[in-house]
Amino acid sequence: MYDILIIGAGICGTFIARDLSRYELKVALLDREDDIACGATMANSAIVHSGHDPEPGTLKARFNLEGSRMYEEICRQLGTVFRRCGAFVASASDEEDAVLDQLFARAQKRAIPSRILSRSEALQDEPHLADGVRRVLDLPTTAIITPWEIAIALAEEAVLNQTELLLSHTVTAIQKEQNGFLVTAQTGDGRQRMLRSRFVVDAAGVYADRIYAMAASDVPFAITPKRGEYYVIDREEHPLVSRVIYPVPSAKGKGVLAVPTIHGNLLIGPSSDPIEDKEDVGTTPWGLDYVQQQISKTVRDIPFHKVIRSFAGLRPSGSTHDFIVEEARDVPGLFLAAAIESPGLTAAPAISHYITEELIGSRIDLRPKKEYTKRQPPTPFHQLSPAQKNEWIRKNPVYGHMVCRCEHITEGEILEAIHRPVGARTIKGVKKRCRPGMGRCQGGFCEPLVAEILCRETDVTMEELFYMQDNVQKDIPGERRDNR
């Protein structure tokens, strides 16, 4: 019997797990995927928004503002990267100028550092603003992060503090019982598991409505996946923009942004298409065309010939047009972190704090653990001086073996990613944790090397590594293969 079972190991679920792991509670974090952060957390704009945008009086406004003030300290504690690069909201017409003034007033009212800059002032900092840009709203507190790095770090810390991590667990039924819930989950190898928990947290992203429906006869909201498509542009010594460039928001949302990433790439997107299929993370020609066409309004000279990847993410958009963060009205003990679309990443620490301290805290006695283990960040090998690097390599030659030649990732860093708490078990898992395959060759060169290391270190075969998950025919009759 758990005290709390969290469904969904995205940014919300992992924040909640980590926050609950401070207390004397038996907590499980469950996800249908085989790793942390496989949904919207993996595919978003990676921005800590300052909080200037959401409508007054919404949960989005509240949690965005609170979250944006929490992140820097959280990242410092977790040892994850946080960079306050700032942002411009760029207006390009009379109507947009009017909206820009409203946003400025809103930012001022919320005590968000901000100012209006003329075109010529803005160009001094961002020379690649499009010709049509007339004025900008400068938001210097806007920051960039790597969302999945934070989610993984949170999961690590939760696991270090006795949270049970149940990956490859798909919830198939939730039954209300006298003292809580009976949750049925199907595991990756086809077994059924029955899990009992006093409370359940629904942080299931685009599936939050389906999870709710398992526990209640009537679901008062629906989650529509809103597909956002992005381009990733190759790392350059001098990125085209040094801060986030937003267009003036419209009814459709924040619009298409240009975002410098922590690792020197440029992210262009997202499109915004409500779709039916909660699984369809496919990119489309029209979605990407829209991104190209929209970004030209705010930024010029984008080197689209240097695109190394495009991807799509599904943001869980709620029918109530606001976050749903509450104890379910007709299912006591079920806590919702639902419809966490933009600015959900920014809001997540504040949502978690609210759910943990106020909602769960009002129902259960939160006794802090006497001993709390802090996460040790991975070796920052990139940041060492040449002499320090050589010292490391002398002790451990695997740090001299460069596996990923695009991003300069060593075998030592890959071994760490595999052997840490919540270690990588898949090619994607390694890529998420230390980036081999994120560069311009997209893994063409390093993927076989990473696969070999994974097979060796986790004692699986190549067949298991690549065919584990879908219904692919595993054996060829009459053929004997020996790859280890």
Partner 1 sequence: MDAKITDQINTDNAAKTRELICIVCPMGCHLSAQTENTADGTCRVLSVSGNTCPRGERYAREELTAPTRMVTGTVTIDGGIYPRLPVITSAPIPRERIFDVMEEIHQAHVCAPVQIHDIIIQNVCGLDADIVASRTMPLKEPAQ
Partner 2 sequence: MKKRDLVIIGGGSAGMAAAIAARKKGIQDILILERGSETGGILLQCIHNGFGLHTFGEELSGPSYAERFSDQIRDLGIEVETDALVLHMDSERKIIYTSPRSGFVTLDARCVVLAMGCRERPRGAIGIPGTRPAGIWTAGAAQRYVNLDGFLPGRRVFILGSGDIGLIMARRMTLEGAQVLGVAELMPYSNGLSRNLKQCLEDFHIPLYLSHTVTDIRGHHRVSSITISEVDDNRRPIAGTEKAFDVDTLLLSVGLLPENTLSEEAGIELHPRTRGPVVDQFLQTTVPGVFACGNVLHVHDLVDFVTAEGYMAGESAAHYLTAGLPQRASVPVTAGEGLSYVLPQRIHPDALPDTLTLSCRVLAPQRNVLLAVEKDGKLIKSVRRPVMLPAEMEKITLKKTEIEGVRESLRLRILPQSVCASPDTAK
Q: Between residues 56 and 478, which has the closer beta carbon with respect to partner 1? A: 478
**Do the beta carbons of residue 441 and residue 234 sit within 8 Å?**
no
Q: Which stretch binds partner 2 (CB under 8 A): 9-17, 53-61, 240-248, 446-454?
A: 446-454
**Residue 415 C-beta: closest distance to partner 1, Å:** 14
Contact positions toward partner 1, by CB under 8 A?
A: 478-480, 482-484
The β-bridge relationship of strands 192-202 and 2-7 is parallel
Question: Is residue 262 a contact point for partner 2 (CB under 8 A)?
Answer: no
Question: Is residue 408 a contact point for partner 2 (CB under 8 A)?
Answer: yes
Selection from 317, 313, 310 nearest residue 343 by Cα: 317
Single-letter amino acid code for the residue at 108: Q
Q: Which stretch binds partner 2 (CB under 8 A): 10-18, 211-219, 252-260, 434-442?
A: 434-442
Single residue of 398, 421, 457, 458 touching partner 2 by CB under 8 A: 398
Considering CB distances under 5 to 8 angstroms, the limit depending on partner class, which of partner 2, partner 1, none binds residue 81?
Answer: none
Question: Is residue 285 a contact point for partner 2 (CB under 8 A)?
Answer: yes
**Residue 171 C-beta: closest distance to partner 2, Å:** 17
Considering CB distances under 5 to 8 angstroms, the limit depending on partner class, which of partner 1, partner 2, none binds residue 321?
Answer: none
The beta-strand segments (E) located in 15-151 are 27-30, 47-48, 82-83, 87-91, 115-118, 135-139, 143-145
Any residues with CB less than 8 A from the CB of 432 and at least 6 apart, and which?
A: 35, 37, 42, 148, 149, 152, 424
What are 344's two structure tokens?
């959900």
Single residue of 130, 184, 353, 466 touching partner 2 by CB under 8 A: 466
Q: Between residues 143 and 450, which has the closer beta carbon with respect to partner 2? A: 450
Question: Is residue 483 a contact point for partner 2 (CB under 8 A)?
Answer: yes
**Do the beta carbons of residue 86 and residue 142 sit within 8 Å?**
yes
**Residue 482 C-beta: closest distance to partner 1, Å:** 5
What are 100's two structure tokens?
């820009």
In the DSSP assignment, the letter for residue 431 is H
Instruction: State the catalytic residue, choosing from 49, 128, 353, 408.
Output: 49
Torsion, Cα 477 480 481 484, to 10 degrees, reads 140
Strand partners, 309: 232
Is-catalytic flag, 49?
Answer: yes
Question: Is residue 472 a contact point for partner 2 (CB under 8 A)?
Answer: yes
In the DSSP assignment, the letter for residue 238 is S
- Tell me the angle at which helices 427-434 and 411-419 cross, rounded to the nearest 10 degrees: 110
Single residue of 109, 252, 367, 481 touching partner 2 by CB under 8 A: 481
Q: Between residues 108 and 293, which has the closer beta carbon with respect to partner 2? A: 293
Single residue of 250, 363, 444, 456 touching partner 2 by CB under 8 A: 444
- Tell me the angle at which helices 147-160 and 59-78 cross, rounded to the nearest 10 degrees: 70
Selection from 69, 65, 63, 62 nearest residue 51 by Cα: 65
Q: Distance between CA atoms of 138 and 88, rounded to whole angstroms?
A: 5
Single residue of 77, 118, 175, 390 touching partner 2 by CB under 8 A: 390
Is the dihedral angle over the CA atoms 444, 448, 451, 453 positive or is it negative?
negative
Q: Which residues are catalytically annotated?
A: 49
The residues of the shown chain that bind partner 2, judged by CB under 8 A, are: 232, 279-285, 288, 307-311, 386, 389-390, 393-394, 397-398, 400-402, 405-406, 408, 410, 427-428, 440-445, 447-448, 451-452, 462-463, 466-467, 469-470, 472-473, 476, 479, 481-483
